[in-house]
Amino acid sequence: MSILDKTATELGAAIKNGEVTVMQAVEASLSRIEESESLYNCYVTVDREGALAKAQEIQKKIDQGILTGPLAGVPTAIKDNMCTQGLLTTCSSKILGNFVPTFSAQAVLNLERAGAVILGKTNMDEFAMGSTTETSAFGETKNPWNPGHVPGGSSGGSAAAVAAGECFYALGSDTGGSIRQPASFCGVVGMKPTYGTVSRYGLIAYGSSLDQIGPLCKDVRDCATIMEILASHDPKDSTSIKRDDTDFTDALVEDVKGLRIGIPRDYFGEGLDPEIKEAVFGAAKVLKEKGALVEEFDLSLAEYAIPAYYTIAAAEASSNLERFDGIKYGYRTQNYSGLHNMYKKSRSEGFGPEVKRRIMLGSFVLSSGYYDAYYLKALRVKALIKKAFDDAFAKYDMILGPVAPATAPRLGESLSDPIKMYLGDIYTISVNLAGLPGLSVPCGIDSRGLPIGLQLIGDCFQEKKLIRAAYTYERARGGFAGPMQNTGSGVSGGSAGAGEEA
Amino acid sequence: MEKQYETVIGLEVHVELATKTKIFCGCSTAFGGEPNTHTCPVCTGMPGSLPVLNKRVLEYAVAVGLATNCEITKYCKFDRKNYFYPDNPQNYQISQLYLPICRNGNVEIETENGKKLVGIHEIHMEEDAGKLIHDEWDDCSLVDYNRSGVPLIEIVSEPDMRSAQEVIAYLEKLRMTIQYLGASDCKLQEGSMRADVNLSVREAGAEAFGTRTEMKNLNSFKAIARAIEGERERQIDLLESGHKVIQETRRWDDAKGESYAMRSKEDAQDYRYFPDPDLVPVVLDNAFLDEIRRKQPEFREDKMARYKREFDLPDYDIDIITAAKRMADLFEATVALGAQPKKVSNWLMVETLRLLKEKEMDPEDIRFSPEHLAKLISLADSKAVNSTVAKEVFEEMFENDIDPEKYVEEKGLKTVNDESALRRAVEKVIADNPQSVTDYRGGKEKAIGFLVGQTMKAMKGKADPGMVNQLLKELL
């Protein structure tokens, strides 16, 4: 078994018992990056020097018994909207193209404290606005399963990097599905925790009331292990919650007996790819066979989630992104006359079209005379959605459904029709609106050879139930071939599939 | 007959709260540091930074609300006010619009026609902005974020005031109340208290309000009074000449005694207020409110009654001493050390006020300690120093808070009570000034004054003038 085939926890164990050195792991990751970055473009920044230096430092601490955690020495990648002290943090935007933070995000600090070696910063949709990683100012990321397709987004760089073996796990952020959907498109596991579980300090905000950091990784065990490291109460984040139930790895048990699983009928209506429907129902069947009680029910309200989400997220974004004005940091236009002209030109030149669209949308829904009709109404819808979930969780331990209505679209397909792209978030965004945890685990491959994801949604603070069910399913499902194993020879395997569709 | 006009005034008063740290981060609020030294990622609006509410700010805001008879909003929120300006690092200010912390209060003021209630519409918490420094030589502007995030409360009155006198009375009442709470030093000159005046005029007896303007940049009570008079006249002139008052914000230039328009309502910005998603709603319980109620200080009215009762001071003294919390505190602490109340009062009313005025200082700036004032009073009481020396020592104490006992000792200022030494000095003065002696003996009573002066001079001011007088008369 080559180093790169190991999961993060397998590698952590191998480093701990001296089978593999941190340097070997980092070098293996860096050489994979060197091989395949030109194809996939998972990273905005690769910190080769930093990672090599860190490898030595971490190895020493492991040898001295200072670092003993399960992921000490394991190379990781961070989505480029999380601040990393001294390391370029761009949000995949021209406007932050030169921005080097003076501090690190709390989630990053938590990983570093656990002995993570950061390989670099992963590509994303600009300011996390998009579902394909095509809105990045630094070029799109390609899906390692088939580089003719997108990896999903906005954490597409993180998902693709894990799938391509360019890191062992990665951090993403999820505002409306931005972890779960790319995880599904790239055949990896991704989790969006309960709002408030992972500190947002140092996460460059898109929609503050919806944003949550979470892991993208190779399997459910990795997911639980990373979650244990990430979750922490942070006094610097007012929305951070104190929890004493973050021993997520305790939930890694194969047992779903008596677990009540609800399948919302309205998630399987028009617009869902039949192959996905089949795969998801197949997964439900597996859980049922393992002893879970599975039944269908009506969740309703799903159709209102998209307009409510785009209203709230855009409103918050329009304000959150005001600080990017070319005054204190980031991009400033070359030629300008006066302050307001400088603002206008810097922002016009610095932001891409999708970001501008959402700033305009958000500014509109907050403007005087429209606030009640749009923003307040969206907040009321949000409350109703939460209520609908509360009712569902009175009956069920979790909700099971697809992550997205289709598998990864071809490059360029989505950008031409933003509404269609927005509709792709139908199954994920209500989870953010209600602040719930959601987990995406691979459950099949469609006829085009692209992975399909299964989504499990839990009530607030019920991550452990999701982990238990996902772990049980994953064990029953058996190994899930990565894009590299597909054709046996890594990078060329992915590219071979590039033109197979007519 | 000439029309009679009534002036209608409402105030928006910003008060900088006396917290040690800023409203949403741990940076110092100290005034006057090197530019951008009291800053961090939060108060400079760095990407990824998040605000966390300083609990002291909430306590002060509630304390002011309770002292001004407001209803306290037990579920309140912060909102973002969005506008682009370089002194505002996030390009939005965190403030309160929809659910301010206090509402529907009032304060009682004294007017020519007796007591009057001025309504308080609301009090909300917000963050201050940074400061722009325009460098005309370099043709550039620099920004200092030391003040960015300093906590403010904005007290919005109802349009209940009708004259500059009422406005000043209202402001003095607010200032006193807030100083008594220790919530702010409320210095207009330094900007820790800022008042914007909303003013309109209407024909006497009219029901509807006229169109109002908002006046900014008022840095003293005098400027406020002048601006009110000026704006009232400007609006009446407009109406009399058949023009309309335009709703706008104006800036007062106190040096020129006139105002000019800054922006009209038409170009008023849409601030797109919405609840700040980075801050959780503030939920107050009764225990919190009770604790603040319990800690409310004795306010001026109660204090005045008590001073009368306990110390039997004249009303005039009580009025002056209680006008500033700092004075009242000093008074009480000095009396507690055993000094006689009326004597303490005299030092505060006469010498302290004189020096404050001379040096253009506020009572808040007084540096000397009650211990030192008590010692000085005891030195004077025991005739260890005469009154001229006592005043000199007091000045030194006022400047540098010196210990009067040590100072008198070190400088050798003690009154000389040694009669033989004094007698020798008097004899020498008599011998040296035969003309004055002759004058005195010839019936010129006034000549003795000169001789007393000469003796005091010879004694370097350290003699008891009464004793000198007595000796002179005896020897002549």
What are the structure tokens assigned to A1, written together? Answer: 């078994």
Tell me the per-residue pLDDT of A251-272, one tens digit each, with 9 for 90 and over.
Answer: 999 999 999 999 999 999 888 9
Rounded Cα–Cα distance for residues A148 and A165 (Å): 18
Tell me B121's DSSP state: E
No. of H helices and E strands in chain A?
Answer: 17, 11
Rg of the Cα trace of chain A? 21
- Kindly report the nearest CA distance between residue B138 and chain A, in angstroms: 15
3-state secondary structure of B260: strand
- Kindly report the nearest CA distance between residue B123 and chain A, in angstroms: 22
Tell me the per-residue pLDDT of B418-452, one tens digit each, with 9 for 90 and over.
Answer: 777 778 888 888 888 888 888 888 888 778 888 88
**Residue whose token pair is 């225990």:** B287
A414-447 exposure pattern, b = at least 16 Cβ within 10 A, e = fewer: bbeebeebbebbbbbbbbbbbbbbbbbbbbbbbe
3-state secondary structure of A460: coil
Closest to A319 measured CA to CA, from B130, B148, B274, B125: B274
Q: Give me the residue from B45, B48, B274 closest to A101, CB to CB.
A: B48
Rounded Cα–Cα distance for residues B140 and B144 (Å): 13
**Hey, of A87, A127, A322, which one would you mutate to test binding to chain B, going by the most B CBs within 10 A of its CB?**
A322
Closest to A176 measured CA to CA, from A198, A141, A140, A209: A209
Region of residue A412 (phi > 0: left; psi between -120 and 50: alpha; otherwise: beta): left
Q: Which pLDDT score is estimated for A131?
A: 95
Give the number of other Cβ atoms within 10 Å of residue B220's Cβ.
11
Band of residue B473 on the pLDDT scale cut at 50, 70, 90: confident
Rounded Cα–Cα distance for residues A82 and A44 (Å): 13
Residues listed for chain B = 476
**Residue whose token pair is 């006022």:** B398
Tell me the per-residue pLDDT of A144-187, one tens digit each, with 9 for 90 and over.
Answer: 999 999 999 999 999 999 999 999 999 999 999 999 999 999 99
pLDDT at B319 over 80: yes
Question: What does pTM read for this prediction?
Answer: 0.89
Q: Give me the residue from A102, A200, A366 closest to B46, CB to CB.
A: A102
Interval A312-319 mean pLDDT: 98
B297 CB-near residues (< 8 Å, 6+ apart):
B180, B181, B182, B325
Band of residue B266 on the pLDDT scale cut at 50, 70, 90: low
Partners of B110 in the beta sheet? B115
Cβ pairs A/B, distance under 8 A: 94
- Kindly report the nearest CA distance between residue B82 and chain A, in angstroms: 7
Rounded Cα–Cα distance for residues A43 and A35 (Å): 13
Tell me A372's DSSP state: I
Give the number of other Cβ atoms within 10 Å of residue A243's Cβ.
15
pLDDT at A440 over 60: yes
pLDDT at B314 over 70: yes
A169 CB-near residues (< 8 Å, 6+ apart):
A8, A71, A74, A76, A77, A162, A215, A216, A217, A218, A222, A226
pLDDT at B317 over 70: yes
Q: Which pLDDT score is estimated for A485?
A: 53
Band of residue A496 on the pLDDT scale cut at 50, 70, 90: very low
The DSSP code sequence of A114-149 is TT-EEEEEE--SGGG--SSS-S-TT----BTTBTTB
Catalytic-residue membership of A94? no
Q: Do A328 and B89 touch (CB under 8 A)?
A: yes
Annotated catalytic residue within A29, A154, A155, A430? A154
Tell me the per-residue pLDDT of B288-309, one tens digit each, with 9 for 90 and over.
Answer: 999 999 999 999 989 999 999 9
Interval B277-284 mean pLDDT: 97
Chain B residues with beta carbon closer than 8 angstroms to that of A105: 48
Rounded Cα–Cα distance for residues B427 and A209 (Å): 93
pLDDT at A486 over 70: no
Tell me the per-residue pLDDT of A104-148, one tens digit each, with 9 for 90 and over.
Answer: 999 999 999 999 999 999 999 999 999 999 999 999 999 999 999
Q: Which pLDDT score is estimated for A300?
A: 79
A458 CB-near residues (< 8 Å, 6+ apart):
A393, A397, A398, A399, A436, A437, A438, A439, A465, A466
Rounded Cα–Cα distance for residues B300 and B323 (Å): 8
Catalytic-residue membership of A6? no
**Hey, of B46, B77, B283, which one would you mutate to test binding to chain A, going by the most A CBs within 10 A of its CB?**
B46
Q: Is B80 exposed, middle or buried (0-12, 13-18, 19+ CB in 10 A)?
A: buried
Q: Which pLDDT score is estimated for A421?
A: 78
- Kindly report the nearest CA distance between residue B14 and chain A, in angstroms: 24
Q: Which residue of B has its CA nearest to A321?
A: B90
- Kindly report the nearest CA distance between residue A447 and chain B, in angstroms: 42
Band of residue A480 on the pLDDT scale cut at 50, 70, 90: confident
Q: Give me the residue from B86, B90, B272 closest to A363, CB to CB.
A: B272
Q: Which residue of B has its CA nearest to A364?
A: B272
Q: Give me the residue from B91, B273, B274 closest to A325, CB to CB.
A: B91
Angle between helices B370-381 and B404-411 (to 10 degrees): 50
Q: Give me the residue from B48, B90, B272 closest to A202, CB to CB.
A: B48
Rounded Cα–Cα distance for residues A247 and A253 (Å): 13
Q: Do A103 and B270 touch (CB under 8 A)?
A: no
**Residue whose token pair is 């391509």:** A164
- By DSSP bridging, strand B213-216 and strand B248-253 are parallel
Give the number of other Cβ atoms within 10 Å of residue A128's Cβ.
30
Q: Do A237 and B92 touch (CB under 8 A)?
A: no
Tell me A408's DSSP state: P
pLDDT at A497 over 70: no
Catalytic-residue membership of A192? no
Stretch among A180-184, A217-221, A345-349, B215-219 having the lowest mean pLDDT? B215-219
Q: Residue B340 — φ and ψ, nearest 5°?
A: -75, 130
Chain B residues with beta carbon closer than 8 angstroms to that of A99: 47
Q: Give me the residue from B46, B47, B52 closest to A235, CB to CB.
A: B52
Q: Give me the residue from B44, B48, B89 closest to A204, CB to CB.
A: B48
What are the structure tokens assigned to A477, written together? Answer: 């499902």
Closest to B387 measured CA to CA, from B348, B418, B358, B347: B347
Interface of A with B in 98-137 (CB under 8 A): 99, 101-103, 105
Residues B251, B262 contacting (CB under 8 angstroms): yes
**Start-end of H helices in A164-202:** 180-186
Q: Which pLDDT score is estimated for B1?
A: 54
Rounded Cα–Cα distance for residues B220 and A234 (Å): 44
Chain A residues with beta carbon closer than 8 angstroms to that of B91: 322-323, 325
Q: Which pLDDT score is estimated for A305?
A: 92
Residues A92, A80 contacting (CB under 8 angstroms): yes
Interface of A with B in 162-201 (CB under 8 A): 200-201
Rounded Cα–Cα distance for residues A90 and A81 (Å): 7
Stretch among A361-375, A486-500, B353-367, B387-401 having the lowest mean pLDDT? A486-500
Rounded Cα–Cα distance for residues B24 and B80 (Å): 13
pLDDT: is A28 or B392 the higher one?
A28
Please report, as a single letter, which amino acid is at residue B281: P
Give the number of other Cβ atoms within 10 Å of residue A489's Cβ.
11
Tell me the per-residue pLDDT of B181-220, one tens digit each, with 9 for 90 and over.
Answer: 999 999 888 889 999 999 999 999 999 999 999 999 898 9
- Kindly report the nearest CA distance between residue A105 and chain B, in angstroms: 7
Q: Which pLDDT score is estimated for A420?
A: 78
Residues B339, B349 contacting (CB under 8 angstroms): no
Interval A333-355 mean pLDDT: 96
Tell me A184's DSSP state: H
pLDDT: is B82 or B385 the higher one?
B82
B interface residues, A as partner, C-beta within 8 Å: 41, 44-53, 80, 82, 84, 86, 89-92, 143, 270, 272-274, 277-280
B103 CB-near residues (< 8 Å, 6+ apart):
B70, B71, B73, B121, B122, B123
Mean pLDDT, chain A, rounded, equals 94
Residues A185, A451 contacting (CB under 8 angstroms): yes
Cα–Cα distance list, A39 to A26, A29, A499 (Å): 20, 15, 14
Q: Which pLDDT score is estimated for B271?
A: 95
Band of residue B21 on the pLDDT scale cut at 50, 70, 90: very high
Give the number of other Cβ atoms within 10 Å of residue A253's Cβ.
11
Tell me the per-residue pLDDT of A287-299, one tens digit each, with 9 for 90 and over.
Answer: 999 999 999 999 9
Q: Do A368 and B274 touch (CB under 8 A)?
A: no
Rounded Cα–Cα distance for residues A140 and A143 (Å): 10
Interval B131-156 mean pLDDT: 92
Closest to A124 measured CA to CA, from A159, A84, A75, A168: A159
Interface of A with B in 202-231 (CB under 8 A): 202-205, 207-209
pLDDT at A491 over 50: no
